[in-house]
Amino acid sequence: MVFCLGGGDEPHIGAVSVAIPYRRKDGEWSVSTSTITLPSHRDNVITRIIVEKVAKATGKVVVAVGGVHLENATKNEIDEVVMNMEKLAERIANELRTGITADAVK
């Protein structure tokens, strides 16, 4: 599964993350995540959020490529972007989790 994340004043590629899910001994999903972040970028924060949440929810390998540029962003604006990504990732994970569960029952 691949996600392309972009926004702000100038969407770009600032980071790439991949999450590889595995089952722990207790049966719960966990992930091993690797990220490449371009110099002077902090987009790894948003790419890691989505790959980790979706991989845990689905048990699938997930990749995200993304970059959000907000010129002269304040801390509050950055916090809002991160919070919105958390909400979006959770919503996507829940939708996919429900879909996978429904498919498994059929």
Q: Per-domain residue ranges for the chain?
A: 2-105
Entry pTM: 0.87
Q: How many CA atoms lie within 13 A of 34 on its CB side?
A: 2
DSSP track, 33-96:
EEEEE-TT--THHHHHHHHHHHHHHHSS-EEEEEEEE-TT--HHHHHHHHHHHHHHHHHHHHHH
Q: Give the pLDDT means over successive 10-residue stretches in the chain (106 positions).
A: 93 96 92 97 96 95 96 94 96 87 50
Cα separation, 23 vs 11, in Å, equals: 35
At 51, the amino acid letter reads V
pLDDT for residue 101: 54
- Name the CATH topology of 2-105: Ribosomal Protein S5; domain 2 (3.30.230)
What's the confidence (pLDDT) of residue 5? Answer: 95
Which of helix, strand or coil describes residue 102?
helix
Q: Which secondary structure element, helix H or strand E, spans residue 97, and what is its range?
A: helix 75-105
pLDDT value of residue 42? 93
